Amino acid sequence: APMDNAQVTHYSSMISGNESTKDMKRKSSRPTFTGHQIFALEKMFENTKYLAGTERSRLACQLSMSEAQVKVWFQNRRTKWRKKHATEVHGPSGKRNKQQRNDESIPTIDSDSNST
């Protein structure tokens, strides 16, 4: 039976391997966490910014998540926290805020030239 153009294109892509590699390289979807999971993760993050392996394992088990998901969540949350913290310290421009200083606030160091 003769093939139409669509079948020829499909067949040639199968032979060249384009279709099969495309199917194999499909990215997994982003996980969505429940409100309960996020609440528990945030609570834990308030107490500690870094989790030991045993803590991560326990938390993952309690929340029905993989350890990798917990690990990545904490990495992303620390990044978010650092950015927010940097904005509070340095201001929105990212540069340290200049503070006005009086001459009185700068300590003077008296050199004792008679000590030599």
Among the residue ranges 25-29, 64-68, 85-89, the one predicted with the least confidence is: 25-29
Query: Please, what is the average pLDDT of the chain?
Result: 76
User: What are the boundaries of each domain within the chain?
Assistant: 35-88
- 11 vs 88: which has the higher pLDDT: 88
pTM for the whole thing?
0.55
CATH of 35-88, one of 1.10.10.60, 3.20.20.100, 1.10.150.570, 3.50.50.60: 1.10.10.60
Per-position b or e across 75-105, b if 16+ CB within 10 A of its CB: eebeeeeeeeeeeeeeeeeeeeeeeeeeeee
Which tens digits make up the pLDDT trace of 36-79?
999 999 999 999 999 999 999 999 999 999 999 999 999 999 99
